[in-house]
Structure 1
């Protein structure tokens, strides 16, 4: 039976930490398992930190869906953390069913990834020196 692709109504951007963020990984996995297109930005990049601050977002991931399905305007829906309730309202199961199961360890390999951005003004962490100092 051929699969039917339903045009995606929303542009999704996931502002994710580079590593160590389970909510980021689970959000990306939820989208991947439903074959929903999305882009990923590094929330730790200076310009993206400013965007998060403008929306008063204090935890990762920050997800922006444009346009808003609720207001039917060109505004966006912005939320943080893993919010399955919001994701299900944007992408209802009858139109975007789960088509595959992805392990958490495979998410970073399958999800789009931003380029690693290192802030030249921040000193590099020396884990060994910190361990010895403790």
Structure 2
């Protein structure tokens, strides 16, 4: 079983990701969205921690790591302009990243993400649903 966190939990596509995580026998441990999506989140993962502020979410992920919980994947379903920052967040926390298209808005940002992949050993997986 792999542990996931999801960024952009109240978005249009997020329920599909939650469903896929659940149907593949994996676990969503935490989710972030500035809008309250607990009803959707609770229907798939009632024990997942939910945050509306990135700073608190970041601290929680750090706490999980200190307690020995591995985050295997960060799923990025946030608005397009935030993808780059959220991918970097996932890679720097030692996770592989699954990101909705587009990975970045500016093509020149791809090189930096490739460098971070090499530094961290993580991978970015781009999907279109």
Could you tell me the TM-score, scaled by structure 1's length? 0.32
Q: Where is the helix percentage greater, Structure 1 or Structure 2?
A: 2
Higher relative contact order (Cα pairs below 8 Å, separated by 6+ residues): 1
Q: Where is the strand percentage greater, Structure 1 or Structure 2?
A: 2
Could you tell me the TM-score, scaled by structure 2's length? 0.33
